[in-house]
Structures are given as structure tokens and as C-alpha cells.
Structure 1
Amino acid sequence: MGRGGGILEKLRSLDAYPKINDDFFSRTLSGGIITLASSLLMLFLFFSELRLYLHTVTESKLLVDASRGETLHINVISLSSSPLPSRVINVKKFDVTFPAIRCSLLSLDTMDISGEQHFDIRHHIVKKRIDAHGSVIEAKKDGIGAPKIEKPLQRHGGRLEHNEKYCGSCFGAETSDDDCCNSCDEVREAYRKKGWALTNAELIDQCEREGFIQKVKDEDGEGCNIEGSLEVNKVAGNFHFIPGKSFHQSNVHLHDLLAFQTDSYNISHKINRLAFGDYFPGVQNPLDGVQWMQERPSGMYQYFIKVVPTIYTNIRGRTIFSNQYSVTEHYKSLELGYSHMLPGVFFFYDLSPIKVTFKEEHVPFLHFMTHICAIIGGIFTIAGLIDSFIYHGQRAIKKKIEAGKFG
């Protein structure tokens, strides 16, 4: 019992908070006001820290991009061509608006520095005819369906007879005796492979019976909204929207403008959305909503894009592999002597060697507790200093007053 009492006495001697008898306390009005104000301030700062603790913070890092052999996903939300700027905004994969190029003449091509090229892309692409007010007239996947008619022109020049298999002429663009062109598009493709421009579509039997010429004429004065997505190699390259069908001649990239060639093309356009990858919180696509109206004669509008690979990991551990980008732009007018230049809108992209990682995290609980203790201790100490200063100041003034009275 004695040993136990000795231990308790030793513990009591370690008390860093000695208690003062209530008879020695002096409570003041200023002290009460300071206590109330400091308590409210503690409460406010506590809930501020609690809110920060419950919300996530995003940590970012810069790393060298060591990935190889990947593809780049281009989300082009919509590209439209119409006589006036389109007001339609579609939240899809890629979306740009041309105000004055009809759908039947608008084509999408891609090429990169590795030599890979894709002309008149139609996979995962949807075109929408737009009137002068930006309203959608018709929306369908790209391509012209050949109507079934009796006795179309055969490759040998005669008409299709009963039970005879149809094999349309390629009009001199055949590479072998077995080649057949059964639609206007197949004839155009055969011409493209030969490096020829199809400027006499009205003389092509397939184009005439499919109503291609009339279709183009019917769309006069309309615009076109084109939307979809692209998968390209993860190397520098470009994709572009141009009136006509691409072909090569003497190593020069040209376009077939059919029988509807004009001295100039209005390439005014509005990019409703353009993204290089999936959405993640905080991403900003600088070309979203950008609009450009052509005031000079026909030319080439170029966007030079620097793509930055980005990895975003949310608080649940879900990882999104995407990209951000910066952009500069330039316009080349045909009247400045660029005779070899094609009218259209070109997006030149290049990959940054640096990738950015974003990771959502909570503030550690120990950090939260440290901040709370710092708030309580700091405010308590400062409030005590203020209270002491006011209390001793009041006592000093009171003593001077009393000394003056006795004097």
C-alpha cells in the first residue's frame, strides 16, 4: 500500500497542469468576449479543415513517356459544313462544323510520318446535312447506296441480260481483266488508286444511275456536320477535312473535286469538340467551341497540336489513360501563290515526350489531427496573450486613476 501510494505521488508530481483554487480566479467581461470570439474562430477553422479532409486533393507528376507501339484515339465530336455557322453542339466523339461545304463533297483523311495513310474514312463516321439556319436535314452514315435498276451498263459495254452477273466498268481504271466497279464509289476508288481525278462523273454510268450528280446538286447551299472517332498510330501526323476524294499524282497529295470544282471553297468551320482521348475530371480541350469564319479567298486553315499523354487515377483506384493538348493555328491563303495547296482544315499533331500523371488522394488522418491541434493550441495561446494584455492594461489604468484621486 505504501509502495502504491509512493508511485501515485510521483505521478502527481509530473502534472504539467497544476490546478488553481477557484478563489484565485478573476473573471472579466473582456475575457468572456475573447473566449466567445476564439471559440467561434476555432469552430470555423475546424469545419474548414474537416471539409478539406473529406474532399480529395489531386497530386500531379511529370514523367518521361516510355510507352511504345500504342495508338492514339482522336475523339472528334463534330465537323460541319453549312452556309452559315452551325448552332448544333453534339456531345459525342468528334464534332466540327463547316458552314459552306456540302456533305457529298466533304471527306476525312489521315496520314502520319510512318507513311500510313487512310483516305475518305467512313468507319465510325456520321455526316449530317445542315441547312442555312444550322438545323439538321438528314443524318446517316457516310456512303451512297446504289439503287437496284434494270440493265445497268456492263464492263464490256453491253447491258445486263437475264441471269447475267453484273460487273460494272471501271472506265479505264481496271488493273486486271477481272476488276469490276459496281458503284460510283468503286469507280472513284479505282481512279484514286490510278492517281486520276474523276472530273466527268456525269459520264459514269454508275454515278448517273445512283443519282450521285443530282445528289450533289440537291445539296447546293447546305452544310454538313461530320462526327465520329479515329484511331491513329502514336506518331506525328495529321488528319484533315477537304472537299473531294484524295488521290496521289507524282508524289503530290491531291483531291478529286469532281465536276463541281470552283475557284474557291469557303472553309469556315466551328469545332464543337475535339479531344485526344477519354474525358477525365479537370481536362480542358482548348479547341472546344472554337469558330473561324473565312473572309479571304479559299485557303488552308492549319491547327498545330502538341499532344501530352495523361494518366488520371481517381480516389477509387480507377485509371484513365487519356491526353491533353495545346494548339497554335495558322491560315494560308491560295492567293499568296500556294498553287499546290489544298483548300481545307488540317490538324497537325505531334506527341510530347513528357507525360502527366494525376492522382486523387485524401489528406492523411494524422495530418488532419495535427492541423486541428495546431488550430486549437494556436488560437488558445493567442487569445490568452490578448486577454492578458487587456487585463493588465486595464489594471494599470485603474491604478493610475486611483493614484490620481488620492494625490
Structure 2
Amino acid sequence: MPFDFRRFDIYRKVPKDLTQPTYTGAIISICCCLFIAFLFLSELTGFIANEIVNELYVDDPDKESGGKIDVRLNVSLPNLHCELVGLDIQDEMGRHEVGHIDNSMKIPLDNGNGCRFEGRFTINKVPGNFHVSTHSATAQPQNPDMSHFIHKLSFGDTLKVHSIYAAFNALGGADKLASNPLASHDYILKIVPTVYEDLNGKQGISYQYTVANKEYVAYSHTGRIIPAIWFRYDLSPITVKYTERRQPMYRFITTVYLMTTKAYLENKSTELNNFNHA
């Protein structure tokens, strides 16, 4: 008698003349089909969507910058005339610049009673500060009012990425309009280099930062010190890198195959159980 290879079939079909459709079987089959479709769509969505992976390492990702970082500052001072507003920059490399004017613009507000300062400048990659003050004015006002609203403060390139949570403009929206008009404002910044790499391997370099702030009226032995808006910064040695990835095709195919096979076998097992109880 010839050997029949079909003996190894553990999922044997039941002859149709011995089967009978039931409402329970139909409901189970429909539920299994819907479940398979749900799992497939879930895996398809996960395959199409991009995954953002982040990592930390110690390095300077922007070695070609010449040790410089671009800064963009946009701040409104509604109670200070534009001719009094200036930007000063100093750092531990000996830079001390009073009244920086390159790539800056002062826009009068409220019929000239206030001023909006917009500037773009560079800082060295060493601890330092830049501050908005009246230090560069030819004649100092009696009571300069440094209440302000910060529209934007950012470092490095602008990354057009919306899928990550990052603090590239942590001070954007800072409202100090109701503060003491005679007070100075200190913003202490920790700047963190940030790299974003897209699916094509193209990298963009920017800088996030954390911020702490305090408000105070300063005095010396000669009297009250002229108030200013200080941005004191230091750089973190840690670089944050975000890498955009997509799920591999083989993982998607394998997952879909396994889940459909499992659902199919569960459906067949249910049909056999229903037949045995019939």
C-alpha cells in the first residue's frame, strides 16, 4: 500500500456534507475577519509612520562653524524709546561689545514710546552673556523701564520638525510686562547641541536650551544699578541626536503573516470545536 503523505495533515478538512452553518459560526468568522483587518491596518499604519529615535553623546556636532553659534533675538520693550535700546555682548574669550548693531533692527511701538528689537548675531562657544540695556545710549535715562515681552530667542539653524518635543524657543512668549519697571532680569541658559537626521541621512544642527530666571533691583555703593535684560549662557557637552527611521519591510511582512496565520488557525479551531459539539 503506497504511503500517503497527507497523513501528516493535522488541520484536516471536514466534508461539506457533514458540516452545517450556524449563526454562532458566522458571528465568530465575521469577528475574526474584522480582527484581522484591524491588526493589518494597525501594522500598516505603524509601517508608514516614521519613528524618531533619540540618543545622547559627547561631541561638538558643528565643527565647521568656526566655534560660533547664530542667535536670533526678538523682544519688545513697550516703555523704552528705541534710541535708548542697545545690545551688548561679552564672553570669557575677552569679547566685550557695547551697542551691537549689525543685522539688527529697532521698530518703534506706541508712537515711539516703546521699541521692538530684532537682531541676529553670533556668539562664541564659551560661557558668556548678551544683554539688552541702555548702556550704549549717549544719555542715560533717569528710570529706564525694562519690562518686556520675548517673542523669540533661538540658537543655530531652524529645524522644521514637528514630531519631536524640544525646547528650541524656550523663552518664546515670556511675558514680563507687569514686572517691576526698575528691575533687572536674569535668564540663565544651558545650551544643548541638537542634531536631527531625516530618512535620507540629511542632518540639521540646532540648539535647544533650558532656562531659569530671576528678577531683582540691583544696588551698589554708588546707588541703584541701571537695569538690563541679561541672557547668561553656557554650553552643555552633551549632544542630543534625533534620527528618523521607518520600520523595515521584512518586519512588516513577518508581523502581518504571523497575525493572519494565528487568526486563521483560531478560527479553524473554533469551527472544529463547534463541529465536535454538534
Normalising by the smaller structure, the TM-score range is 0.7 to 0.9
Given the alignment of the two structures, is residue 52 of structure 1 paired with residue 46 of structure 2, yes or no? yes
Q: 1:223 aligns with which of 111, 114, 130?
A: 114
Q: Deviations over 1:101-156 (max 9, x none)?
A: 11101000111112112221111111111116xxxxxxxxxxxxxxxxxxxxxxxx
Could you list the structure 1 runs, at least 4 aligned residues long, displaced by more than 4 angstroms after superposition: 9-17, 66-69, 335-340, 381-389, 392-395
The structural deviation recorded for 1:394 is 7.2
Q: 1:261 aligns with which of 133, 136, 141?
A: 141
The answer to which structure has the higher helix fraction is 1
Over aligned residues, Cα RMSD in angstroms? 2.8
1:312 match: secondary structure: strand
Q: How does 1:30-41 map to 2 (within 5 A)?
A: 30-41=24-35
Given the alignment of the two structures, is residue 308 of structure 1 paired with residue 192 of structure 2, yes or no? yes
Change (3 A) 1:382 1:11: closer
Q: How does 1:7-406 map to 2 (within 5 A)?
A: 17-66=11-60, 70-76=67-73, 95-131=74-110, 219=112, 222-245=113-136, 257-262=137-142, 264-280=143-159, 281=161, 282=164, 283-284=166-167, 285-334=169-218, 339=223, 341-383=225-267, 391=274
C-alpha separation between the residues in 2 aligned to 1:101 and 1:388?
85
C-alpha separation between the residues in 1 aligned to 2:222 and 2:33?
75
Aligned residues: 269
Structure 2 residue ranges without an equivalent (≥5): none
Contact 2:77 2:115 in 1 (8 A): yes
The structural deviation recorded for 1:366 is 1.1
Change (3 A) 1:386 1:23: closer
Structure 1 residue ranges without an equivalent (≥5): 1-5, 77-94, 133-218, 246-256, 396-407
The structural deviation recorded for 1:33 is 0.6
The structural deviation recorded for 1:18 is 3.8
Change (3 A) 1:74 1:294: same
Letter in 1 for 2:158: Y
Task: Compute the TM-score of the two structures, normalised by the length of structure 2.
Answer: 0.85
Letter in 1 for 2:68: T
Contact 2:219 2:225 in 1 (8 A): no
Contact 1:267 1:294 in 2 (8 A): no
Task: Compute the TM-score of the two structures, normalised by the length of structure 1.
Answer: 0.60
The structural deviation recorded for 1:230 is 1.3
The structural deviation recorded for 1:17 is 4.5
Change (3 A) 1:308 1:388: farther
Change (3 A) 1:259 1:324: closer
The answer to which structure has the higher strand fraction is 2
